[in-house]
Amino acid sequence: MLKPLPGGERDGYADCMAVPRILFVTGKLAEPALRRVLADLAPRAGFVAEVAVLPITVAALAPTPWIARHLERTDGIDRVVLPGLCAGDLGVVAEKVGVPVERGPADLRDLPEFFRAGSRSRDGYGRYDVEILAEINHAPRLPSDEVLRQARDLAEQGADVIDLGCDPGSTWAGVGDAVRRLRAEGLRVSVDSFDPAEVEAALDAGAELVLSVNATNVDRACSWAGRGDFAVVVLPEPIHDLDSLGPALDRLTAAGVRYRIDPVLEPIGLGFAASVGRYIETRRRYPNAEMMMGVGNLTELTDVDSAGVNVVLLALCQELGIRSVLTTQVINWCRSCVREIALARRLVHYACTNRVLPKHVEPDLVVLRDPKLREHGEAALAELAAGIRDPNFRLFAEGGVLHAMNGDMHVTAADPFELFDAILARTAVEPTHAFYLGYELAKAVVARTLGKNYTQDQALRWGFLTVEEESHRDRKQRKASS
């Protein structure tokens, strides 16, 4: 057991017994690294740490019934933390030790974040007040079933309203049927068209929003009053002239037609900064008006992954009280825009409501890299390699170097092919294990290239795009039991 860690008085406690005592379960191989992490973490996080070292090299490989048999009941312990990858029912361990038991993180280096997340209040996180309109582009060209499929997918990703994008130059005779079919699915619908026949058919079928109205068609829009409960999106005409909004808004108000204003976001190089200024000025002129922002002119028309752009634009919307955004998912780098905005609107709402930085709050939006790069360090890796006694390889990627170690070797190389040659020079590798090593090393190289964390037998983390994978060990156990 680890003796009570120092620092209690420095953190404002009279003695160590006044703080929770937490028992951390580990195996022989991870014991030194765990003790180092806890020696730094426990005084700062306000608990006394003790360590139970089980008679196994890697405790994460042990199922909970085995852990329960080998773990002694310890008086004075308030809580037990097992390795995050331990399989099985935690109840059998809790029954043995008589205190609450939980799984910690899969990697012990994440323990500081694990305890910080447990202590940091995020009350209210997840709330939002920005509505997502997701456009189905060129809807008239699509079969009816395909329109419905795309609409369902967009709604599942977080869209609140499905926008049917119509094609200029011809009238879509099927727009009313398309709206009715989506409404029958319980979906909210808007129509993106300047064709009066299309708009009127859509409104009669239950569409709730019309994109768009400006000085050229405002009189026709006023004639739609009474066709249902709907609103229109109003644009300046020309788009740089905010003074053109006044007469159009006055006519709509007089006709009893609800509206939201979109000053039109323009692409970089074609008036982007000025268009951002228009949103700010519009809010100044119309402090209580509903507003909308179409983000596609930036996300679709800029050579950059869309997630970061969407967060910044949603922050602008949150601060200006713009309560709806229109997005598209046409070009490949925008294929996940709806999910990005669904997360971003929660992040910016939390930051603005609580006046806190939007940092260390929503890790699912950190996609290309990881929120924090963890490294064992050369000394820790050497210590780990010295403690291995079995033939199973452990793989690591740190500091631009790949490591492979087992009870017979510890080889390193920057090139995965050179690393594998070094392994083959010392031992034969049967084909299935060679495939496994190649697969894991490929992940390690990707992680090293992008500045991500690599943990053997775990999926690389890609934020909300992460695809979980079954570990090599779990796959073998599943096949053996089937």
Instruction: Verify that 143 and 263 share a domain, yes or no.
Output: yes
Is residue 402 scored above 80 in pLDDT? yes
Among 79, 96, 119, the domain-final residue is 119
Residue 295 falls within a domain, yes or no? yes
The alpha carbons of the chain give a radius of gyration, in whole angstroms, of 29
The per-residue pLDDT for range 310-358, each reduced to its tens digit, is: 999 999 999 999 999 999 999 999 999 999 999 999 999 999 999 999 9
Within 63-157, residue ranges assigned H as helices are 64-70, 91-97, 111-119, 144-157
What is the residue-wise DSSP string for 70-87?
Answer: HPPP-TT--EEEE-TT--
pLDDT of residue 117: 57
Task: Residue 159: give its domain's CATH number.
Answer: 3.20.20.20
Is residue 15 scored above 60 in pLDDT? no
| Residue that is written with structure tokens 């006519």 in the block | 251
Residue 259 falls within a domain, yes or no? yes
Is residue 9 scored above 50 in pLDDT? no
Instruction: Verify that 288 and 400 share a domain, yes or no.
Output: no
Residue 5 falls within a domain, yes or no? no
Domain residues for 440? 378-481
Alpha-carbon distance 249 to 246, whole Å?
5
| Residue that is written with structure tokens 């697969």 in the block | 439
Instruction: Verify that 166 and 229 share a domain, yes or no.
Output: yes
Instruction: Verify that 304 and 414 share a domain, yes or no.
Output: no
Instruction: Verify that 341 and 200 share a domain, yes or no.
Output: yes
The per-residue pLDDT for range 261-317, each reduced to its tens digit, is: 999 999 999 999 999 999 999 999 999 999 999 999 999 999 999 999 999 999 999
Instruction: Verify that 142 and 103 share a domain, yes or no.
Output: no
Picking from 369, 329, 361, 328, the residue whose alpha carbon sits closest to that of residue 345 is: 361
Instruction: Verify that 176 and 290 share a domain, yes or no.
Output: yes
pLDDT of residue 252: 97
Is residue 27 scored above 80 in pLDDT? yes
- pLDDT confidence tier of residue 369, bands split at 50, 70 and 90: very high
Give bridge partners of residue 103 from the DSSP assignment: 82
Most confident of 21-35, 105-119, 460-474: 21-35
8 A C-beta contact, residue 163 and residue 133 = yes
Alpha-carbon distance 282 to 245, whole Å?
9
Is residue 482 scored above 90 in pLDDT? no
- Three-class SS state of 437: helix
8 A C-beta contact, residue 136 and residue 163 = yes
Mean pLDDT of all residues in 429-438? 94
- pLDDT confidence tier of residue 61, bands split at 50, 70 and 90: confident
pTM of the model: 0.83
Alpha-carbon distance 15 to 22, whole Å?
15
Mean pLDDT of all residues in 397-423? 95
Instruction: Verify that 202 and 73 share a domain, yes or no.
Output: no
Instruction: Verify that 51 and 136 share a domain, yes or no.
Output: no
Instruction: Verify that 35 and 182 share a domain, yes or no.
Output: no
Is residue 6 scored above 80 in pLDDT? no
Is the peptide bond prior to 212 cis by the omega test (within 30 degrees of 0)?
yes
| Residue that is written with structure tokens 């922050």 in the block | 315
Domain count, the chain: 3
Instruction: Verify that 141 and 44 share a domain, yes or no.
Output: no
The per-residue pLDDT for range 152-164, each reduced to its tens digit, is: 999 999 999 999 9
The per-residue pLDDT for range 93-146, each reduced to its tens digit, is: 998 888 999 999 888 888 988 887 544 557 789 999 999 999 999 999 999 999
Question: Two tokens at 290?
Answer: 């509903």
The per-residue pLDDT for range 175-197, each reduced to its tens digit, is: 999 999 999 999 999 999 999 99
Instruction: Verify that 96 and 232 share a domain, yes or no.
Output: no
pLDDT of residue 218: 96
- pLDDT confidence tier of residue 428, bands split at 50, 70 and 90: very high
- pLDDT confidence tier of residue 230, bands split at 50, 70 and 90: very high
